[in-house]
Amino acid sequence: MKINKIISIAASLFIGTTLTSCTDWLDLKPEGQIVFDDFWQDKSQVEGMLATCYKSFTTDGASNSMLLWGELRGDNVIEGESVGSDVKKMLEVDIDAENWICNWGSMYTIINYCNTFIKYAPDVPSLDPNFTVGECNTMIGEVRALRAMAYFYLVRTFKEVPYIDEPSITDDQDYNKAKSSEDFVLDKIEADLIAAERVVRTQFDKTASTKGRITKNAVRAALADVYLWRNQYANCIAKCDEVMADTTLKLVKNVNNNVYSQIFGRGNSTESIFELQYNNDIQWNNSTKIFYGTSGNLSDQRGEVYVPEYLITAGNSSPFSYQITARKKEADNDKRKSYNFVADDQSGINLVFKYAGSDWTEGTIRNIYSYRSNTSNWIMYRLPDVMLMKAEALVEQAKGYETSGSDEESGTNPNQDRINNLLAQALKLVNETYERANKSTSFGSSSSSTNVELLIEDYNSTSKMSDLVLRERHRELMFEGKRWFDLMRLAR
Protein backbone atom coordinates (compact mmCIF):
# COMPACT_ATOMS: atom_id res chain seq x y z
CA MET A 1 0.00 0.00 0.00
CA LYS A 2 1.06 3.58 -0.58
CA ILE A 3 1.20 4.49 3.13
CA ASN A 4 3.47 1.55 3.93
CA LYS A 5 5.76 2.55 1.06
CA ILE A 6 5.93 6.12 2.35
CA ILE A 7 6.82 4.91 5.85
CA SER A 8 9.47 2.62 4.36
CA ILE A 9 11.01 5.46 2.38
CA ALA A 10 11.03 7.73 5.43
CA ALA A 11 12.73 5.05 7.53
CA SER A 12 15.37 4.48 4.84
CA LEU A 13 16.10 8.18 4.72
CA PHE A 14 16.57 8.33 8.48
CA ILE A 15 19.01 5.40 8.48
CA GLY A 16 20.85 6.82 5.48
CA THR A 17 21.45 10.17 7.17
CA THR A 18 23.30 8.48 10.03
CA LEU A 19 25.75 6.80 7.60
CA THR A 20 26.48 9.55 5.08
CA SER A 21 28.25 12.87 5.09
CA CYS A 22 26.56 16.24 5.50
CA THR A 23 27.08 16.91 1.80
CA ASP A 24 25.23 13.72 0.84
CA TRP A 25 22.43 14.57 3.23
CA LEU A 26 22.01 18.04 1.72
CA ASP A 27 21.71 16.49 -1.75
CA LEU A 28 18.71 14.34 -0.81
CA LYS A 29 15.39 15.15 -2.46
CA PRO A 30 12.45 16.31 -0.34
CA GLU A 31 10.40 13.35 0.89
CA GLY A 32 7.30 14.29 -1.12
CA GLN A 33 9.29 14.44 -4.34
CA ILE A 34 10.80 11.00 -3.66
CA VAL A 35 7.32 9.54 -3.07
CA PHE A 36 5.96 10.89 -6.34
CA ASP A 37 9.08 9.95 -8.31
CA ASP A 38 9.08 6.41 -6.95
CA PHE A 39 5.39 5.68 -6.50
CA TRP A 40 3.64 6.09 -9.86
CA GLN A 41 5.59 3.31 -11.56
CA ASP A 42 3.32 0.31 -12.21
CA LYS A 43 -0.25 -0.96 -12.41
CA SER A 44 -0.36 -2.34 -8.86
CA GLN A 45 0.44 1.10 -7.43
CA VAL A 46 -2.32 2.68 -9.50
CA GLU A 47 -4.76 0.01 -8.32
CA GLY A 48 -3.73 0.70 -4.73
CA MET A 49 -4.39 4.40 -5.15
CA LEU A 50 -7.76 3.63 -6.78
CA ALA A 51 -8.67 1.58 -3.70
CA THR A 52 -7.65 4.55 -1.54
CA CYS A 53 -10.04 6.82 -3.44
CA TYR A 54 -12.91 4.41 -2.73
CA LYS A 55 -11.87 3.83 0.88
CA SER A 56 -11.78 7.56 1.55
CA PHE A 57 -15.57 7.57 1.06
CA THR A 58 -15.96 5.03 3.90
CA THR A 59 -14.01 6.94 6.55
CA ASP A 60 -15.93 8.16 9.58
CA GLY A 61 -15.70 11.78 8.44
CA ALA A 62 -17.18 11.11 5.00
CA SER A 63 -19.85 8.67 6.16
CA ASN A 64 -20.90 11.04 8.95
CA SER A 65 -21.28 13.84 6.42
CA MET A 66 -23.38 11.78 4.00
CA LEU A 67 -25.75 10.65 6.74
CA LEU A 68 -25.98 13.82 8.82
CA TRP A 69 -26.06 16.36 5.98
CA GLY A 70 -28.95 14.44 4.46
CA GLU A 71 -30.99 13.82 7.61
CA LEU A 72 -30.40 16.21 10.52
CA ARG A 73 -32.10 19.28 9.07
CA GLY A 74 -34.99 17.28 7.65
CA ASP A 75 -37.96 15.89 9.56
CA ASN A 76 -36.98 12.23 10.02
CA VAL A 77 -35.04 12.40 13.29
CA ILE A 78 -35.03 14.07 16.69
CA GLU A 79 -32.42 14.07 19.45
CA GLY A 80 -31.91 10.90 21.46
CA GLU A 81 -30.84 10.51 25.08
CA SER A 82 -27.14 10.20 24.22
CA VAL A 83 -27.08 12.84 21.48
CA GLY A 84 -23.85 14.82 21.12
CA SER A 85 -23.94 18.58 21.65
CA ASP A 86 -23.07 19.42 18.02
CA VAL A 87 -25.72 17.04 16.66
CA LYS A 88 -28.24 18.60 19.05
CA LYS A 89 -27.34 22.09 17.82
CA MET A 90 -27.78 21.02 14.21
CA LEU A 91 -31.18 19.51 14.97
CA GLU A 92 -32.16 22.83 16.52
CA VAL A 93 -30.81 24.68 13.44
CA ASP A 94 -28.19 26.33 15.65
CA ILE A 95 -25.43 26.21 13.03
CA ASP A 96 -21.97 27.77 13.34
CA ALA A 97 -18.55 27.21 11.83
CA GLU A 98 -17.22 25.57 15.01
CA ASN A 99 -19.68 22.69 14.72
CA TRP A 100 -17.78 19.64 13.45
CA ILE A 101 -20.74 18.63 11.28
CA CYS A 102 -20.13 21.79 9.21
CA ASN A 103 -16.57 20.67 8.46
CA TRP A 104 -16.17 19.78 4.79
CA GLY A 105 -12.61 18.50 5.18
CA SER A 106 -13.49 14.82 4.62
CA MET A 107 -14.98 15.58 1.21
CA TYR A 108 -11.96 17.61 0.18
CA THR A 109 -9.72 14.75 1.30
CA ILE A 110 -11.62 12.51 -1.15
CA ILE A 111 -11.32 15.17 -3.83
CA ASN A 112 -7.57 15.51 -3.28
CA TYR A 113 -7.01 11.77 -3.62
CA CYS A 114 -9.02 11.87 -6.84
CA ASN A 115 -7.14 14.91 -8.16
CA THR A 116 -3.82 13.19 -7.46
CA PHE A 117 -4.96 10.04 -9.25
CA ILE A 118 -6.23 11.94 -12.29
CA LYS A 119 -2.95 13.88 -12.60
CA TYR A 120 -0.43 11.05 -12.21
CA ALA A 121 -2.12 7.81 -13.32
CA PRO A 122 -2.04 8.65 -17.08
CA ASP A 123 1.80 8.47 -17.09
CA VAL A 124 1.97 4.91 -15.76
CA PRO A 125 1.01 2.87 -18.89
CA SER A 126 4.19 4.13 -20.57
CA LEU A 127 6.22 2.72 -17.66
CA ASP A 128 4.43 -0.61 -17.17
CA PRO A 129 3.85 -2.75 -20.30
CA ASN A 130 1.23 -4.78 -18.39
CA PHE A 131 -0.94 -1.70 -17.89
CA THR A 132 -2.88 -0.53 -20.94
CA VAL A 133 -4.10 2.98 -21.68
CA GLY A 134 -7.66 1.58 -21.86
CA GLU A 135 -7.41 0.11 -18.36
CA CYS A 136 -6.02 3.39 -17.07
CA ASN A 137 -8.78 5.45 -18.70
CA THR A 138 -11.45 3.20 -17.15
CA MET A 139 -9.96 3.75 -13.69
CA ILE A 140 -9.73 7.50 -14.29
CA GLY A 141 -13.43 7.41 -15.21
CA GLU A 142 -14.25 5.77 -11.88
CA VAL A 143 -12.25 8.40 -10.01
CA ARG A 144 -13.81 11.30 -11.91
CA ALA A 145 -17.23 9.98 -10.90
CA LEU A 146 -16.14 9.72 -7.25
CA ARG A 147 -14.86 13.31 -7.36
CA ALA A 148 -18.17 14.43 -8.88
CA MET A 149 -20.15 12.71 -6.13
CA ALA A 150 -18.04 14.37 -3.41
CA TYR A 151 -18.58 17.78 -4.99
CA PHE A 152 -22.31 17.09 -5.38
CA TYR A 153 -22.61 16.52 -1.62
CA LEU A 154 -20.73 19.77 -1.03
CA VAL A 155 -22.69 21.95 -3.44
CA ARG A 156 -26.08 20.67 -2.23
CA THR A 157 -25.08 21.27 1.39
CA PHE A 158 -23.13 24.53 1.17
CA LYS A 159 -24.20 25.84 -2.29
CA GLU A 160 -20.99 27.80 -3.04
CA VAL A 161 -17.73 25.97 -2.39
CA PRO A 162 -14.09 26.23 -3.57
CA TYR A 163 -13.57 24.16 -6.72
CA ILE A 164 -10.15 22.51 -6.78
CA ASP A 165 -9.05 20.13 -9.52
CA GLU A 166 -5.29 20.06 -8.89
CA PRO A 167 -3.70 17.85 -6.21
CA SER A 168 -2.51 19.53 -3.02
CA ILE A 169 0.98 18.06 -2.59
CA THR A 170 3.40 20.82 -1.58
CA ASP A 171 3.57 23.48 1.10
CA ASP A 172 4.08 26.32 -1.38
CA GLN A 173 0.68 25.96 -3.06
CA ASP A 174 -2.05 28.54 -2.55
CA TYR A 175 -4.63 26.94 -0.27
CA ASN A 176 -6.77 30.06 0.15
CA LYS A 177 -9.15 29.34 -2.70
CA ALA A 178 -12.22 31.52 -3.21
CA LYS A 179 -15.64 29.93 -3.43
CA SER A 180 -17.01 29.11 -6.86
CA SER A 181 -20.63 29.66 -7.83
CA GLU A 182 -23.09 26.80 -7.55
CA ASP A 183 -23.60 26.65 -11.32
CA PHE A 184 -19.84 26.57 -11.97
CA VAL A 185 -19.38 23.59 -9.62
CA LEU A 186 -22.43 21.80 -11.04
CA ASP A 187 -21.06 22.29 -14.57
CA LYS A 188 -17.81 20.65 -13.48
CA ILE A 189 -19.70 17.79 -11.79
CA GLU A 190 -21.72 17.21 -14.94
CA ALA A 191 -18.60 17.24 -17.13
CA ASP A 192 -16.86 14.69 -14.88
CA LEU A 193 -19.85 12.35 -14.95
CA ILE A 194 -20.33 12.61 -18.72
CA ALA A 195 -16.65 11.83 -19.26
CA ALA A 196 -16.83 8.94 -16.81
CA GLU A 197 -19.88 7.40 -18.46
CA ARG A 198 -17.97 6.92 -21.72
CA VAL A 199 -15.21 4.79 -20.21
CA VAL A 200 -16.36 3.03 -17.02
CA ARG A 201 -17.41 -0.61 -17.04
CA THR A 202 -20.96 -1.93 -17.18
CA GLN A 203 -20.24 -4.57 -14.53
CA PHE A 204 -17.46 -6.48 -12.81
CA ASP A 205 -16.82 -10.19 -12.25
CA LYS A 206 -18.11 -10.14 -8.66
CA THR A 207 -21.41 -8.77 -7.38
CA ALA A 208 -19.71 -6.84 -4.57
CA SER A 209 -17.53 -5.08 -7.15
CA THR A 210 -20.45 -4.31 -9.49
CA LYS A 211 -22.36 -2.80 -6.57
CA GLY A 212 -19.33 -1.33 -4.79
CA ARG A 213 -17.46 0.25 -7.71
CA ILE A 214 -18.46 2.88 -10.24
CA THR A 215 -20.34 1.42 -13.21
CA LYS A 216 -22.29 3.02 -16.04
CA ASN A 217 -25.47 2.65 -13.99
CA ALA A 218 -23.88 4.41 -11.01
CA VAL A 219 -22.79 7.30 -13.24
CA ARG A 220 -26.22 7.53 -14.90
CA ALA A 221 -27.99 7.54 -11.54
CA ALA A 222 -25.73 10.35 -10.33
CA LEU A 223 -26.30 12.29 -13.56
CA ALA A 224 -30.07 11.89 -13.17
CA ASP A 225 -29.74 13.29 -9.64
CA VAL A 226 -27.71 16.27 -10.86
CA TYR A 227 -30.14 16.97 -13.71
CA LEU A 228 -33.09 16.83 -11.31
CA TRP A 229 -31.32 19.26 -8.98
CA ARG A 230 -30.76 21.60 -11.93
CA ASN A 231 -34.39 21.35 -13.16
CA GLN A 232 -33.28 19.67 -16.39
CA TYR A 233 -36.18 17.25 -16.42
CA ALA A 234 -35.85 15.77 -19.92
CA ASN A 235 -32.19 14.94 -19.26
CA CYS A 236 -33.09 13.43 -15.89
CA ILE A 237 -35.77 11.22 -17.45
CA ALA A 238 -33.38 10.07 -20.20
CA LYS A 239 -30.76 8.95 -17.68
CA CYS A 240 -33.35 7.25 -15.49
CA ASP A 241 -34.60 5.36 -18.55
CA GLU A 242 -31.08 4.17 -19.33
CA VAL A 243 -30.69 2.81 -15.81
CA MET A 244 -34.14 1.19 -15.81
CA ALA A 245 -33.45 -0.45 -19.18
CA ASP A 246 -30.82 -2.67 -17.54
CA THR A 247 -32.63 -5.97 -16.93
CA THR A 248 -30.07 -7.05 -14.32
CA LEU A 249 -31.50 -4.37 -12.02
CA LYS A 250 -34.71 -5.61 -10.40
CA LEU A 251 -36.81 -4.59 -7.44
CA VAL A 252 -36.39 -7.08 -4.60
CA LYS A 253 -39.65 -9.01 -4.11
CA ASN A 254 -41.12 -12.52 -4.04
CA VAL A 255 -38.18 -13.87 -2.07
CA ASN A 256 -38.11 -16.39 0.76
CA ASN A 257 -36.62 -13.87 3.17
CA ASN A 258 -38.15 -10.43 3.46
CA VAL A 259 -37.27 -7.45 1.33
CA TYR A 260 -35.58 -5.55 4.17
CA SER A 261 -32.95 -8.19 4.86
CA GLN A 262 -32.14 -8.47 1.16
CA ILE A 263 -31.59 -4.74 0.66
CA PHE A 264 -30.28 -3.50 4.00
CA GLY A 265 -29.34 -6.59 5.98
CA ARG A 266 -27.09 -8.45 3.58
CA GLY A 267 -26.69 -5.63 1.04
CA ASN A 268 -25.65 -5.68 -2.63
CA SER A 269 -29.20 -6.67 -3.64
CA THR A 270 -30.58 -6.88 -7.17
CA GLU A 271 -31.89 -3.31 -6.89
CA SER A 272 -28.63 -1.83 -5.62
CA ILE A 273 -26.79 0.44 -8.06
CA PHE A 274 -23.92 1.79 -5.94
CA GLU A 275 -23.27 1.16 -2.27
CA LEU A 276 -20.20 1.73 -0.14
CA GLN A 277 -18.78 -1.55 1.14
CA TYR A 278 -18.08 -1.93 4.85
CA ASN A 279 -16.45 -4.84 6.61
CA ASN A 280 -16.01 -5.78 10.25
CA ASP A 281 -12.37 -6.66 9.71
CA ILE A 282 -11.36 -3.59 7.69
CA GLN A 283 -13.80 -0.70 8.02
CA TRP A 284 -16.94 -0.40 10.15
CA ASN A 285 -19.80 1.86 9.20
CA ASN A 286 -19.55 3.77 12.46
CA SER A 287 -22.09 6.35 11.31
CA THR A 288 -25.10 4.01 11.15
CA LYS A 289 -23.75 2.27 14.26
CA ILE A 290 -23.53 5.44 16.34
CA PHE A 291 -26.43 7.52 15.06
CA TYR A 292 -29.01 4.79 14.34
CA GLY A 293 -28.08 1.90 16.61
CA THR A 294 -25.27 0.41 18.65
CA SER A 295 -24.24 -2.48 16.45
CA GLY A 296 -23.14 -5.60 18.27
CA ASN A 297 -24.55 -4.58 21.64
CA LEU A 298 -27.97 -6.21 21.58
CA SER A 299 -28.92 -4.86 25.01
CA ASP A 300 -28.60 -1.25 23.88
CA GLN A 301 -29.72 -0.53 20.33
CA ARG A 302 -30.29 3.19 20.81
CA GLY A 303 -28.44 5.55 18.52
CA GLU A 304 -27.90 9.28 19.01
CA VAL A 305 -31.09 10.15 17.13
CA TYR A 306 -34.65 8.91 17.60
CA VAL A 307 -37.76 8.97 15.42
CA PRO A 308 -40.31 11.79 15.88
CA GLU A 309 -43.81 10.84 17.00
CA TYR A 310 -45.48 12.39 13.95
CA LEU A 311 -44.05 9.64 11.71
CA ILE A 312 -45.69 6.99 13.89
CA THR A 313 -49.06 8.69 14.34
CA ALA A 314 -51.67 8.32 11.62
CA GLY A 315 -52.73 11.59 10.05
CA ASN A 316 -51.89 13.99 7.28
CA SER A 317 -48.57 15.01 8.81
CA SER A 318 -47.20 11.48 8.46
CA PRO A 319 -46.52 9.84 5.08
CA PHE A 320 -48.09 6.71 6.59
CA SER A 321 -51.86 6.29 7.02
CA TYR A 322 -52.32 9.42 4.95
CA GLN A 323 -55.96 10.45 4.49
CA ILE A 324 -56.69 10.74 0.77
CA THR A 325 -60.47 11.08 1.04
CA ALA A 326 -62.97 10.71 3.87
CA ARG A 327 -63.14 6.95 3.22
CA LYS A 328 -59.69 6.18 1.84
CA LYS A 329 -56.19 6.12 3.31
CA GLU A 330 -52.80 5.86 1.67
CA ALA A 331 -50.09 3.55 3.10
CA ASP A 332 -52.28 2.47 6.01
CA ASN A 333 -50.63 -0.97 6.25
CA ASP A 334 -47.30 -0.05 4.72
CA LYS A 335 -44.59 -2.56 5.64
CA ARG A 336 -41.94 0.16 5.49
CA LYS A 337 -43.45 1.60 8.64
CA SER A 338 -42.53 -1.70 10.30
CA TYR A 339 -38.90 -1.72 9.26
CA ASN A 340 -37.94 1.96 9.03
CA PHE A 341 -38.39 2.32 12.78
CA VAL A 342 -39.43 0.33 15.82
CA ALA A 343 -41.14 1.34 19.07
CA ASP A 344 -39.39 0.47 22.31
CA ASP A 345 -42.30 -0.94 24.35
CA GLN A 346 -40.71 -0.22 27.74
CA SER A 347 -39.87 3.43 27.18
CA GLY A 348 -42.24 4.38 24.37
CA ILE A 349 -39.28 5.72 22.41
CA ASN A 350 -39.25 5.26 18.64
CA LEU A 351 -35.91 4.01 17.35
CA VAL A 352 -34.42 3.92 13.86
CA PHE A 353 -34.29 0.31 12.63
CA LYS A 354 -33.19 0.76 9.00
CA TYR A 355 -29.44 0.08 8.74
CA ALA A 356 -29.26 -0.61 12.50
CA GLY A 357 -31.10 -3.92 12.16
CA SER A 358 -30.38 -7.05 10.15
CA ASP A 359 -33.85 -8.58 9.79
CA TRP A 360 -37.44 -8.49 11.01
CA THR A 361 -40.27 -11.00 11.06
CA GLU A 362 -43.93 -10.05 10.98
CA GLY A 363 -45.85 -11.64 13.85
CA THR A 364 -49.55 -11.94 14.68
CA ILE A 365 -49.16 -10.02 17.94
CA ARG A 366 -45.90 -8.18 17.47
CA ASN A 367 -43.01 -8.07 15.04
CA ILE A 368 -39.69 -9.69 15.93
CA TYR A 369 -36.62 -7.60 15.22
CA SER A 370 -33.06 -8.88 14.85
CA TYR A 371 -30.15 -6.49 15.25
CA ARG A 372 -26.89 -6.77 13.42
CA SER A 373 -23.62 -8.01 14.87
CA ASN A 374 -21.76 -6.16 12.11
CA THR A 375 -22.19 -2.86 10.30
CA SER A 376 -24.14 -2.05 7.17
CA ASN A 377 -23.15 -0.97 3.69
CA TRP A 378 -24.26 2.57 2.84
CA ILE A 379 -26.46 2.70 -0.26
CA MET A 380 -25.86 5.78 -2.39
CA TYR A 381 -28.18 4.79 -5.25
CA ARG A 382 -30.69 2.00 -5.75
CA LEU A 383 -33.39 1.38 -8.33
CA PRO A 384 -36.40 2.84 -6.39
CA ASP A 385 -34.49 6.11 -6.00
CA VAL A 386 -34.04 6.32 -9.77
CA MET A 387 -37.67 5.36 -10.46
CA LEU A 388 -38.93 8.07 -8.12
CA MET A 389 -36.51 10.64 -9.56
CA LYS A 390 -38.10 9.97 -12.93
CA ALA A 391 -41.58 10.26 -11.41
CA GLU A 392 -40.68 13.65 -9.94
CA ALA A 393 -39.24 14.86 -13.25
CA LEU A 394 -42.41 13.77 -15.09
CA VAL A 395 -44.59 15.74 -12.68
CA GLU A 396 -42.38 18.81 -13.03
CA GLN A 397 -42.70 18.53 -16.82
CA ALA A 398 -46.48 18.40 -16.38
CA LYS A 399 -46.35 21.55 -14.26
CA GLY A 400 -44.49 23.28 -17.09
CA TYR A 401 -47.21 22.39 -19.61
CA GLU A 402 -49.85 23.43 -17.11
CA THR A 403 -48.33 26.88 -16.73
CA SER A 404 -47.43 27.49 -20.36
CA GLY A 405 -50.68 26.29 -21.92
CA SER A 406 -53.44 27.52 -19.64
CA ASP A 407 -56.15 29.72 -21.12
CA GLU A 408 -57.72 31.84 -18.38
CA GLU A 409 -60.70 32.93 -20.52
CA SER A 410 -61.82 29.46 -21.60
CA GLY A 411 -60.55 27.67 -18.50
CA THR A 412 -59.04 24.97 -20.71
CA ASN A 413 -55.52 23.85 -21.44
CA PRO A 414 -54.63 22.48 -24.91
CA ASN A 415 -51.86 20.49 -23.23
CA GLN A 416 -54.23 18.66 -20.88
CA ASP A 417 -53.87 15.30 -22.61
CA ARG A 418 -50.09 15.58 -22.39
CA ILE A 419 -50.34 16.56 -18.71
CA ASN A 420 -52.61 13.61 -17.98
CA ASN A 421 -50.19 11.26 -19.73
CA LEU A 422 -47.23 12.52 -17.70
CA LEU A 423 -49.17 12.15 -14.44
CA ALA A 424 -50.20 8.61 -15.40
CA GLN A 425 -46.56 7.68 -16.08
CA ALA A 426 -45.51 9.12 -12.73
CA LEU A 427 -48.23 7.23 -10.87
CA LYS A 428 -47.21 3.95 -12.54
CA LEU A 429 -43.68 4.38 -11.19
CA VAL A 430 -44.92 5.26 -7.71
CA ASN A 431 -47.15 2.19 -7.71
CA GLU A 432 -44.21 -0.12 -8.39
CA THR A 433 -42.53 0.73 -5.09
CA TYR A 434 -45.81 1.38 -3.25
CA GLU A 435 -47.53 -1.91 -4.06
CA ARG A 436 -44.67 -4.15 -2.95
CA ALA A 437 -44.85 -2.54 0.51
CA ASN A 438 -48.64 -2.49 0.84
CA LYS A 439 -49.84 -5.98 0.06
CA SER A 440 -52.20 -7.40 2.67
CA THR A 441 -50.18 -10.63 2.92
CA SER A 442 -46.63 -11.02 4.21
CA PHE A 443 -44.17 -8.62 2.65
CA GLY A 444 -42.73 -10.20 -0.49
CA SER A 445 -45.41 -12.86 -0.86
CA SER A 446 -47.02 -13.20 -4.28
CA SER A 447 -50.18 -15.06 -3.27
CA SER A 448 -53.62 -13.94 -2.06
CA SER A 449 -52.72 -10.27 -1.91
CA THR A 450 -55.23 -7.45 -2.07
CA ASN A 451 -54.88 -4.97 -4.90
CA VAL A 452 -53.71 -1.75 -3.27
CA GLU A 453 -52.94 0.16 -6.47
CA LEU A 454 -53.13 3.92 -6.13
CA LEU A 455 -55.71 5.34 -8.55
CA ILE A 456 -55.30 8.33 -10.84
CA GLU A 457 -58.65 9.84 -9.82
CA ASP A 458 -57.21 10.46 -6.36
CA TYR A 459 -54.16 12.27 -7.77
CA ASN A 460 -55.60 14.04 -10.80
CA SER A 461 -53.67 17.31 -10.50
CA THR A 462 -50.00 18.19 -10.66
CA SER A 463 -50.01 19.40 -7.05
CA LYS A 464 -51.55 16.18 -5.73
CA MET A 465 -49.18 14.03 -7.78
CA SER A 466 -46.18 16.09 -6.70
CA ASP A 467 -47.13 15.61 -3.05
CA LEU A 468 -47.62 11.88 -3.62
CA VAL A 469 -44.15 11.46 -5.18
CA LEU A 470 -42.59 13.32 -2.26
CA ARG A 471 -44.45 11.12 0.26
CA GLU A 472 -43.39 7.97 -1.58
CA ARG A 473 -39.75 9.08 -1.61
CA HIS A 474 -40.15 9.81 2.10
CA ARG A 475 -41.49 6.31 2.82
CA GLU A 476 -39.06 4.46 0.56
CA LEU A 477 -35.81 6.36 1.24
CA MET A 478 -36.28 7.26 4.90
CA PHE A 479 -32.96 7.45 6.85
CA GLU A 480 -30.93 6.93 3.65
CA GLY A 481 -29.46 10.45 3.66
CA LYS A 482 -31.88 11.78 1.03
CA ARG A 483 -34.58 13.69 2.91
CA TRP A 484 -32.99 17.14 3.34
CA PHE A 485 -31.85 17.21 -0.27
CA ASP A 486 -35.37 16.23 -1.44
CA LEU A 487 -36.91 19.05 0.57
CA MET A 488 -34.32 21.56 -0.61
CA ARG A 489 -34.70 20.54 -4.26
CA LEU A 490 -38.46 21.00 -4.22
CA ALA A 491 -38.21 24.24 -2.27
CA ARG A 492 -35.92 25.64 -4.97
Q: Report pLDDT for 9.
A: 36
Q: Are residues 232 and 345 in the same domain?
A: no
Q: Are residues 377 and 470 in the same domain?
A: yes
Q: Report pLDDT for 405.
A: 65
Q: Mean of the per-residue pLDDT values for the chain? A: 88
Q: Report pLDDT for 96.
A: 87
76-80, 300-304, 393-397: least confidently modelled range: 300-304
User: Residue 77 domain-assigned?
Assistant: yes
Higher pLDDT pick, 179 / 2: 179
Q: Are residues 45 and 117 in the same domain?
A: yes
E strands, 93-197, are: none
C-alpha–C-alpha distance, residues 138 and 125, integer Å: 13
Q: Report pLDDT for 367.
A: 85
Output the CA–CA distances (angstroms, integers) from residue 61 to 67, 106, 140, in the order listed.
Answer: 10, 5, 24
Q: Is the pLDDT of residue 5 over 80?
A: no
Q: Which amino acid appears at position 250 of this protein?
A: K
C-alpha–C-alpha distance, residues 410 and 406, integer Å: 9
E strands, 58-163, are: 78-79
Beta bridge pairs of residue 341: 352
Tell me the torsion sign for CA atoms 311, 459, 328, 316. Answer: positive
Q: How many domains does the chain contain in total? A: 2
DSSP class of residue 187? H
User: Residue 221 domain-assigned?
Assistant: yes
Domain range for 430: 286-491
User: Residue 465 domain-assigned?
Assistant: yes
Q: How confident is the model at residue 279 (pLDDT cuts 50, 70, 90)?
A: confident
Q: How confident is the model at residue 410 (pLDDT cuts 50, 70, 90)?
A: low
CATH code of the domain containing 117: 1.25.40.390
Q: Report pLDDT for 176.
A: 81
Question: Stretch 48-75: mean pLDDT, rounded?
Answer: 96
Report how far Cα 301 is from the mean position of its chain's Cα atoms: 24
C-alpha–C-alpha distance, residues 365 and 444, integer Å: 20
Tens-digit pLDDT profile for residues 440-468: 544 444 443 456 899 999 999 999 999 99
C-beta of residue 401 within 8 angstroms of C-beta of residue 422: yes
Q: Is the pLDDT of residue 109 over 80?
A: yes
In the chain, what percentage of residues exceed pLDDT 90?
A: 69
Question: Stretch 177-191: mean pLDDT, rounded?
Answer: 96
